[in-house]
Structures are given as structure tokens and as C-alpha cells.
Amino acid sequence: MARITAGVSCSHVPAIGVAMDTGITDQPYWKPCFDGFVKSREWMKENTPDVIFLVYNDHCTAFDASCIPTFALGCAAEFQPADEGWGPRPVPVVKNHQKLASHIAQSLILDEFDMTIMNEMDVDHGLTVPLSLMFGEHGVDDEWPCQVIPLAVNVVQYPAPTGNRCYNLGKAVARAVESYDEDLNVMVFGTGGMSHQLQYKRAGLINPEWDKRFLDMLVNDPVAASQIPHVEYLREAGSEGVEMVMWHVMRGALKETAKEVHRHYHVPASNTAVGHLILENV
Amino acid sequence: MKKDYEDIPGTFVFDADRSREGYHLNQFCISLGKQKGRDAYTADPEAYLASFPMTEDQRQAVRDQNWNRMLELGGNVYYTAKLAAYHGINFQGLAGLMTGMGREEYRDMMLNGGRSIEGNRYKSEWGEE
């Protein structure tokens, strides 16, 4: 049977991808950010999964304003890194476990989570930056060490799905994975955040106290964390901080007893507070 | 209908009302994410702008590169960032412009831990309505 072994949450700031793609991660600005992922990369090498179910948001790349699905599940055979206005990132094509993806799509819909199914989709930095952070540098001719099922969540146009909805979706993803016959090691990634505001006169907002409290709650009291209302993210963690609802999908997919094995928090990466957790199912 | 998220200073929450108002402005901006759109805009900026049925105020904000005005007229930063990128401005440079701080001062603020939440939660703290 397929099983969920671990969950990872991390920010997906585009400038992190640029720093890796241009080889400047050792510079004083970036080093403290990347130092927190040294242990993560070792852990990934020791625990490389067969498949990552990766929850991220598309930044008006695959979806412009003409079509805004709340949950879009990638079921294509592969996903090309997208041109986001400055050419695609020089990273490998993302390959899907198509049979598991279709199984999850079917299971979620019957479980009353109405997915949009994507049989063609390019993926942007929201998906590729977390892979780069966790696996290190991989060039275009290389391959990612495992397969990836993308789940794109709308967080651009208000309202994003609630934390509660995301948490319950995570539970449904776990049910779907656990009902799949093949013996697979599956990890769930929840990406985005932490506090940041990219727009208008309050841009640059960072709230480390709130972020750290969120990390603690997510690990130790996930149900309470899933009840945080949108207005609290928007006010306390910045208008773009609402991305953190996606972390609840990861947390919901893991057992309540999941154990924290690594944490990292750093300010800033460009406009954003970088937060990162690794949780293992025990 | 009362919107609880409207009482945050210096912030536009991009909801369905703003999305409706800014639709053609945002679609124009996002078209510049692709080479075809960038080439068409470069070849004849006015003709390309005219091909999107946005308001004259929105067109003028685009011509003026008035980033805050675009947001006031229904633009969203993930879209306007593509117009900024067309003009060689990255996300941090754009934030520097929108806050009125400029690139250097904004970058320094971020290196020093960013903008504090204290005094920045409610419009009343900014003397805004």
C-alpha cells in the first residue's frame, strides 16, 4: 500500500530560485537562508520518497484572471517549468506519477472535494523553488529524484479556501494515498509564506512573532491552527501571507502525532520571511 | 456588505469586486509574461493597450507606470509585476516604488527585519478612513 511518511513546509520565494540559478547562495545575503536547508537536503537524501504531493499556488502563470480554480490537480504525464516573464528556470521537467494522481483525483471527488483536473499545465516557481530547496541544484538535463503530483491552490483572488477546508482536504489526500495498492513512499509538501506583503503602501510587512506562533501551532495543535480566519493572516502576516493556508493541507495529511524533525526561520528573502518544517509520521 | 478585511492600512485585498474592476488591466499585464505580448507592446504600445477594453484611467496608470494607481483601479500585484518586469523592475524594486521608499531604503528595511506589525494593523493607526 502507498503510505504518507513525512510532510515538508517551506516558502517558495522566486528570488530563492534566482539565487540558486545564478550561483550566489554563498553570498552573505543568502547564506543564512540556505544554511537552514543543509540538514533538509541530507534528510531528503536519506529519505527520498517515490512521490511528492506538492501543494503550491500558481502566480497567474498557468491560470490568468480568466479561470481561477480553487483546487487544480495536475494529472498530466509531465509539467514544464514555466516562462514567468524572464524565461523558464533552468531546472528539470517535473514528472508525475500519473496513475496515483488519477487515483487521488477520483478518490477526492468521491470524497466531496471537487477538483479541477489539469491534463496540461506549466508549473512556476511556486512548485520548483521548494524542489530546489529540498533537493539542491539540478540542471535542465538532469532529473528530479522523485515524481511529483502538483496541487495548485488559488490564493491570489480572495477568498482562498479556508484553513479548515485545506486541513480536511489533507485528510482526504491521506485517505486517497492509503487506498492505493502500489507500495509507495509519499511525502506531502505545503508551500508558500511566511509573513509577507508585496503590494501597496504596507509592502515589506514581516511579523516573526506571529510566524513562530503559527509554526508551533501547526505542529502541536493543528486543528486550532486550521481555524485561523483569513482576516488574521491578511492583517498579521501580510496580504500575501494568506498563502499559509496551504500548509494545512500538508498538516492534515499527516497524523496528529507527527514529530517535528527540523525547523528553520529566516528574514529576509527579498520581501519575505522564510519558514520551513519537516514532520515525520510516527 | 461589510468586509472585515477592508480595515487594514496600506493594503488592497484582491477580492471578486476588485477582480471584476481590474479584469482587462490585469489581463493586459499578464499578457506581457509571454514573449508574444512583450513584442506586440513594444511594436506599438498604444495600439496594444487599445486592444484591451480597460478604462482610460487604467490606461493612463499603465502609461505613467503609476503602480499604486493600478492597484487602486483593480490591478493585482501578481499581474502588475509582469508590467514591472517588462520595464526591468523586479518584485523588490516594485515594492520600493509602491511604498515611496525607493529601492535602497526598502532593501535596508527588509535587511533589518522588515516593516513591523506594530502600528500597522488598523486603518485608524494610519489616520485612514
Interface test with A, best of B58, B117, B128 (most A CBs within 10 A): B117
Instruction: With respect to residue A35, please indicate whether it lies within any of the assigned structural domains.
Output: yes
**How many separate domains does chain A show?**
1
Which set of grid coordinates corresponds to residue B63? 502609461
Q: Are the beta carbons of B12 and A267 separated by less than 8 Å?
A: no
Q: Are the beta carbons of A159 and B15 separated by less than 8 Å?
A: yes
Q: Can you give the pLDDT at residue B13?
A: 97
Q: Which domains does chain B carry?
A: 11-89 (1.10.700.10)
Q: Can you give the pLDDT at residue A87?
A: 84
Cα–Cα distance for residue pair B128/B124, rounded to 1 Å: 6
Instruction: With respect to residue A183, please indicate whether it lies within any of the assigned structural domains.
Output: yes
Interface A:B, Cβ pairs < 8 A: 145
Which set of grid coordinates corresponds to residue A244? 499559509
Cα–Cα distance for residue pair A238/A235, rounded to 1 Å: 6
Q: Can you give the pLDDT at residue A85?
A: 81
pLDDT tens-digit series, residues A22-75:
999 999 999 999 999 999 999 999 999 999 999 999 999 999 999 999 999 999
Which residues have C-beta within 8 Å of that of residue A273, sequence separation ≥ 6?
Answer: A11, A193, A194, A195, A196, A206, A207, A208, A211, A265, A266, A267, B114
CA atoms within 13 A on the CB side of A276: 26
ipTM score for this prediction: 0.96
Q: Are the beta carbons of A156 and B78 separated by less than 8 Å?
A: yes
Instruction: With respect to residue A250, please indicate whether it lies within any of the assigned structural domains.
Output: no
CB atoms within 10 A of CB A36: 18
Instruction: With respect to residue A88, please indicate whether it lies within any of the assigned structural domains.
Output: yes
Which residues have C-beta within 8 Å of that of residue A253, sequence separation ≥ 6?
Answer: A4, A7, A53, A170, A171, A173, A174, A177, A188
CATH code for the domain of A117? 3.40.830.10
Which set of grid coordinates corresponds to residue A48? 527520498
- The C-alpha cell 487515483 sits at A103
Question: Considering only alpha carbons, which residue of chain A is nearest residue B22?
Answer: A65
Question: Considering only alpha carbons, which residue of chain A is nearest residue B12?
Answer: A200
Residues of B in contact with A86 (CB under 8 A): 85
Which set of grid coordinates corresponds to residue A188? 506531502
The helix-helix angle for A98-110 and A163-178 (nearest 10°) equals 120
Residues of A in contact with B5 (CB under 8 A): 158, 230-231, 234-235
Q: Can you give the pLDDT at residue A77?
A: 98
- The C-alpha cell 535602497 sits at B104
Instruction: With respect to residue A134, please indicate whether it lies within any of the assigned structural domains.
Output: yes
Q: Are the beta carbons of A65 and B30 separated by less than 8 Å?
A: yes
Which residues have C-beta within 8 Å of that of residue B52, sequence separation ≥ 6?
Answer: B24, B25, B27, B28, B31
pLDDT tens-digit series, residues B14-51:
999 999 999 999 999 999 999 999 999 999 999 999 99
Q: What backbone phi and psi angles, to 5 degrees, belong to A279?
A: -120, 140
What CA–CA distances, in Å, run from A226 to A27, A107, A164, A167, A223?
37, 23, 5, 6, 5
Q: Which of A80, A66, A76 lies closest to A102, judged by CA?
A: A76
Q: Residue A276: beta bridge partners?
A: A10, A264
Active site residues of A: 125, 196
Q: Which residues constitute the domain of residue A108?
A: 11-199
Instruction: With respect to residue A153, please indicate whether it lies within any of the assigned structural domains.
Output: yes
Q: Chain A: nearest CA to B42, how far in angstroms?
A: 14
- Residues in chain A with pLDDT < 50? none
Q: Which of A193, A210, A248, A258 lies closest to A226, judged by CA?
A: A248
Cα–Cα distance for residue pair A238/A229, rounded to 1 Å: 13
Interface test with A, best of B103, B115, B122, B123 (most A CBs within 10 A): B115
User: Would you say residue B129 has pLDDT above 80?
Assistant: no
Q: Are A245 and A193 in contact (CB under 8 A)?
A: no
Q: Hey, is the C-beta of A14 within 8 angstroms of any chain B C-beta?
A: yes
Instruction: With respect to residue A109, please indicate whether it lies within any of the assigned structural domains.
Output: yes
Interface test with B, best of A56, A201, A236, A240 (most B CBs within 10 A): A201
Instruction: With respect to residue A66, please indicate whether it lies within any of the assigned structural domains.
Output: yes
